[in-house]
Amino acid sequence: MAAYARDFHQKLTTPLMSVVMTVVGVAAVWGARDARSMSLGFASTLCGAAIYWLLTMVGTALSGSQQIPLLVGIWFPHLAVLTLSTSIFWRKTRA
């Protein structure tokens, strides 16, 4: 039953991944005025995507082996990265 629940929650979070990655990309590139800051924003977007993917895979693996609760393993990486990216974007718009 745990495998079915994990698959169900993964199907719910899959569409959320595109929203999270959009916020990560916009937060990294927002306010870039020259080529150097644009390329640094692009590189930080790639690093953010890699960290996001790694957190998602680790959370899924740990919740699949029942070492952490299912909802924490599946939903926490998405909410954590979305919150962090939103706060970065908010700080950049206020500066």
- Write down the domain spans for the chain: 2-94
What CA–CA distance (Å, rounded) separates 93 from 23? 13
DSSP state of 31: T
Per-residue pLDDT of the chain (95 residues; tens, 9 = 90+): 778 888 899 899 989 999 999 998 888 888 888 888 888 888 988 998 999 999 999 999 999 888 999 899 999 999 999 999 999 899 988 87
Q: Provide the residue type at 54 as one letter.
A: L
pTM over 0.75: yes
As given in the structure block, the two tokens for residue 49 are 């995507």
Contact between 45 and 25 under an 8 Å Cβ cutoff? The reply is yes
